[in-house]
Structure 1
Amino acid sequence: MFAVIKTGGKQYVVKPGDKIKVEKVEANVGDTIEIKEVLLVSKEGEIKLGNPLVEGVKVIASVVEHSKGPKVIVFKKKPKKGYKRKRGHRQLITTLEIKEIL
């Protein structure tokens, strides 16, 4: 059994027991959250495809930790003008553990 969920503007293929890293979710560590944006569900070879979401299906997940992703360097330069700019960015990430698909 697996499902395709949408969170943080991205889509993830999940099954019970998976740990995924998504963009920051406003919840405390140890909390249980429901993800209602389910795009596809497959159970025993039977596939339900949403238009755009599958009705009556949700994914239960628990928050494992909050962290930061790898640093991304943003460097801008204009040749012959003396303009250089270097900035770094680290995206906030939440690790979720998928408990079940209802």
Structure 2
Amino acid sequence: MYAVFRTGGKQYRASKGDRVMVERLQAEEGESVEFSEVLLVGEGSSVKVGSPLVLGSKVQAKVITQGRGSKITVIKFKRRKNYKRVKGHRQHYTEVEITSIIESGSKKTTTKKAATKKATTKKATTKKAATKKATTKKATTKKAATKKAATK
């Protein structure tokens, strides 16, 4: 079983037992974390895709480490002017191990939605169409175009 979940503005695909490096979370090492924004859950050939989320599904994980990534250097310069600035950046991350993927029975919610949609369509068909009043058009008469006599 695998799941696609969203955290820190990114999406991750994970199965039980996987270690994933996500954006920094406010949790201590050893704590358990729960990701409720699950976009997709799949097992074998069956796949549940949320719109946008799979309702009731969760991904539970355990925080392994907190750390900083490798240094990324940013260089700004102007050619032939002896101007150069170098900055470095290290992104914070949290490494988590996926302990379980909880899939909810979202079929119940979809059947309720389908039943309410049917009820609303029945109400829409019982409305009578508004009758339009017939309007009378005035007869327009065109004047005959007068030709000017050609001058010699």
TM-score by length of 2: 0.65
Question: Whose RCO is larger (CA < 8 A, sep 6+)?
Answer: 1
Looking at structure 2, the residues matched to 15 and 21 of structure 1 have their Cα atoms a distance apart, in angstroms, of 14
1:78 deviates by: 1.1
Looking at structure 1, the residues matched to 26 and 14 of structure 2 have their Cα atoms a distance apart, in angstroms, of 20
Provide the residue aligned with 1:6 in structure 2: 6
Percent identity, please. 47
- Write 1 or 2 for the structure with the bigger share of helix: 2
| CA shift digits 1:1-47 (9 cap, x unpaired) | 00001111111110000001111000010100110111100024211
1:90 deviates by: 0.4
- SS at 2:27's partner residue? coil
Provide the residue aligned with 2:87 in structure 1: 87
Structure 2: tracts of 5 or more residues without a match: 103-152
Looking at structure 1, the residues matched to 83 and 23 of structure 2 have their Cα atoms a distance apart, in angstroms, of 33
Provide the residue aligned with 1:49 in structure 2: 49
Looking at structure 1, the residues matched to 66 and 39 of structure 2 have their Cα atoms a distance apart, in angstroms, of 25
Looking at structure 2, the residues matched to 65 and 90 of structure 1 have their Cα atoms a distance apart, in angstroms, of 16
Looking at structure 2, the residues matched to 41 and 27 of structure 1 have their Cα atoms a distance apart, in angstroms, of 25
Provide the residue aligned with 2:74 in structure 1: 74
- Write 1 or 2 for the structure with the bigger share of strand: 1
**Superposition pairs of residues 8-47 of structure 1, within 5 angstroms:** 8-47=8-47
Provide the residue aligned with 1:98 in structure 2: 98
List, as ranges, runs of 4+ consecutive aligned residues in structure 1 with deviation greater than 3 Å. Answer: none
TM-score by length of 1: 0.96
Aligned residues: 102
1:82 deviates by: 2.8
